[in-house]
């Protein structure tokens, strides 16, 4: 009775030892140049698909059918994914086709995946394949726009892709623009090639509320913000990736450039959520409540007057503090929530904001953000 067991155990032991010897001898090729065997490919793919399906169960998918989200995701795709996965015309650097496994054309993959599976892969990456994780695991709010974009990707042609990423922007060198003082300002190369897609050459952020306005913002604040992204101290998967490629000199140049542009324009292009159906009367009341929070704070909730640091004038309290006037309401709301969740980070002064906004309730965040976004107009 015991014999078969002995033989089995012996056999397993021998297979194990031979396996170890094969690995130790170094004969198994790890070269990417020959690709995987079909059986290995099948096994790895099957493992990946099962793992992703299991781990993405229970992830709640938000409403993704929103143009602003899709544009935000498209911008990130261009900056952080296109170099491996290519554009709708299939173009990608030759180097990428030499990877094993190759980054797939996502037009073929997306229809086979659920949104929560895409979210899981984009957030965590895939081990031993070159597919990277999202740079900031606390910023799920940045990953969903990429999923929203991916869901549209299979139906996009080349021109529609470019329109989403660049809007009306033409990548022509030698452009210039009027500064706030009316002089002609040459547009830095980096702005034309990189920043303009999301923030615009004019620094107005494309009117959607997902990219902040930079025009007329305090130079010192732009500078410390870019440095904070560069040093991983302000958490944003998109901006950290871009700032990590910038030299100090470029950071200084673009900060000077955007700060000298005509400040935030009117609220025409606030891209405000039209579905909230607030009538004029409600908006006036919201503005007044916001104005009161900004001017006096909220005594019972430990909220100080915002205007101490963010005055209702263009002149900042301190140079490295941001002006909020005319900034998009949606952007301000998002940043306040990030401060509350400790998932924003920022410059050395950023922790001043934690104490300032921790006590704010959601409707108060909306009111005070609405107030600052409307301020130049009223």
Q: Does 371 bind ligand HEC (CB under 6 A)?
A: no
| Residue whose entry in the numeric block shows the structure tokens 């923030």 | 199
Report the nearest approach of ligand HEC to the CB of residue 113 (Å). Answer: 5
Tell me the C-alpha distance between 361 and 40, whole Å: 53
Q: How many CB atoms are closer than 10 A to CB 317?
A: 13
Site for ligand HEC in 158-187 (CB under 6 A): none
Select 16 or 104, whichever has its Cβ closest to ligand HEC: 104
Of the candidate residues 71, 151, 190, 330, the single one contacting ligand HEC (CB under 6 A): 190
Q: Which of 64, 69, 70, 146 binds ligand HEC (CB under 6 A)?
A: 146
Q: How many CA atoms lie within 13 A of 58 on its CB side?
A: 2
Closest residue by Cα to residue 84 from 44, 41, 130: 130
User: Segment 21-50, which members bind ligand HEC (CB under 6 A)?
Assistant: 48
Q: Does 71 bind ligand HEC (CB under 6 A)?
A: no
Strands of 165-243, DSSP E:
176-178, 184-186
Q: What is the number of the residue whose Cβ is closest to ligand HEC?
A: 346
CA distances from 122 to 161, 180, 239 (A): 19, 40, 16
Q: Contacting ligand HEC (CB under 6 A), which of 207, 263, 304, 376? A: 304
Among 164, 222, 261, 265, binds ligand HEC (CB under 6 A): 222
Binding status of residue 122 toward ligand HEC by CB under 6 A: yes
Supply the minimum distance, in Å, between the C-beta of residue 24 and ligand HEC: 27
How big is the chain, counted in residues? 378
H/E element holding 41?
Answer: helix 38-55
Provide the mask over 236-265, with x wherever binding to ligand HEC is found by CB under 6 A and - wherever it is not.
Answer: x-xx--x-----------x-----------
Q: Which residues contact 79 (CB under 8 A, 6 or more apart)?
A: 194, 238, 241, 242
- For the packed helices 140-152 and 67-80, what is the interaxial angle rounded to 10 degrees? 90
The correct pick among 335, 367, 373, 374 for binding ligand HEC (CB under 6 A) is 335
CA distance 13 to 290: 73
The count of residues interacting with ligand HEC (CB under 6 A) is 66
Chosen residue from 69, 215, 336, 375 binding ligand HEC by CB under 6 A? 336
At closest approach, how far in Å is the CB of 156 from ligand HEC? 14
85 near ligand HEC, rule: CB under 6 A: yes
- DSSP at 179: B
Residues ≥6 apart with Cβ < 8 Å to 190: 246, 250, 253, 254
Task: State how far the Cα of 357 lies from the Cα of 294, in Å rounded to an integer.
Answer: 11
| By the rule CB under 6 A, 86 interacts with ligand HEC | no
Name the token pair of 150: 């991916």
Q: Which of residues 279-298 bind ligand HEC (CB under 6 A)?
A: 293
Q: Provide the b/e sequence for 248-270 (b: ≥16 CB within 10 Å).
A: eebbbbbbebbbbbbbbbebeeb
Q: Which is nearer to ligand HEC, 5 or 252 (CB)?
A: 252
Please tell me whether residue 148 binds ligand HEC under the rule CB under 6 A.
no
Interacting residue ranges for ligand HEC, rule: CB under 6 A: 48, 52, 75-76, 79-81, 83-85, 99, 101, 103-104, 106, 109, 113, 118, 121-122, 126, 129-132, 146, 190, 194-195, 197-199, 211-212, 214, 222, 224-226, 236, 238-239, 242, 254, 293, 303-304, 306, 308-310, 321-322, 324, 332, 335-336, 346-347, 349-350, 352-353, 356-357, 368
């Amino acid at each position: 009775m015991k014999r078969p067991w002995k033989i089995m155990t012996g056999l397993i032991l021998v297979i194990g030892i031979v396996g170890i010897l094969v690995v130790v001898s170094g004969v198994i090729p790890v070269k990417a140049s020959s690709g995987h065997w079909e059986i290995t490919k099948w096994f790895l793919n099957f493992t990946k698909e099962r793992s992703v399906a299991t781990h993405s169960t229970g992830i709640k998918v938000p409403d993704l059918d929103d143009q602003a989200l899709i544009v935000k995701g498209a911008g990130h795709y261009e900056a952080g994914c296109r170099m491996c996965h290519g554009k709708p015309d299939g173009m990608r650097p030759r180097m990428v086709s030499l990877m094993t496994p190759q980054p797939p054309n996502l037009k073929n993959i997306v229809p086979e995946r659920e949104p929560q599976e895409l979210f899981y892969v984009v957030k965590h990456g895939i081990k031993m394949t070159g597919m990277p994780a999202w740079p900031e695991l606390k910023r799920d709010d940045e990953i969903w726009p990429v999923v929203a974009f991916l869901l549209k990707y299979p139906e996009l042609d080349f021109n529609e892709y470019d329109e989403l990423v660049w809007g009306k922007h033409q990548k022509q060198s030698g452009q210039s623009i009027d500064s706030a003082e009316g002089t002609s300002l040459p547009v830095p190369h980096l702005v034309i090639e990189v920043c303009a897609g999301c923030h615009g050459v004019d620094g107005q952020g494309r009117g959607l509320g997902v990219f902040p306005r930079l025009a007329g913002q305090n130079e010192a604040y732009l500078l410390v913000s870019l440095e904070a992204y560069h040093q991983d101290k302000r958490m944003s998967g998109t901006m950290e990736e871009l700032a990590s490629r910038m030299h100090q000199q470029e950071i200084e140049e673009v900060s000077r450039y955007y700060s000298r542009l005509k400040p935030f324009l009117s609220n025409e292009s606030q891209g405000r959520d039209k579905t909230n159906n607030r009538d004029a009367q409600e908006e006036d009341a919201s503005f007044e409540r916001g104005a009161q929070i900004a001017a006096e704070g909220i005594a019972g909730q430990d909220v100080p007057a915002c205007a101490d640091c963010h005055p209702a004038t263009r002149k900042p309290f301190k140079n490295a503090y941001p002006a909020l006037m005319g900034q998009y309401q949606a952007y301000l709301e998002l940043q306040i929530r990030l401060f509350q969740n400790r998932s924003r980070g920022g410059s050395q002064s950023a922790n001043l904001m934690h104490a300032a906004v921790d006590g704010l309730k959601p409707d108060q965040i909306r009111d005070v953000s609405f107030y600052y976004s409307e301020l130049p107009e009223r």
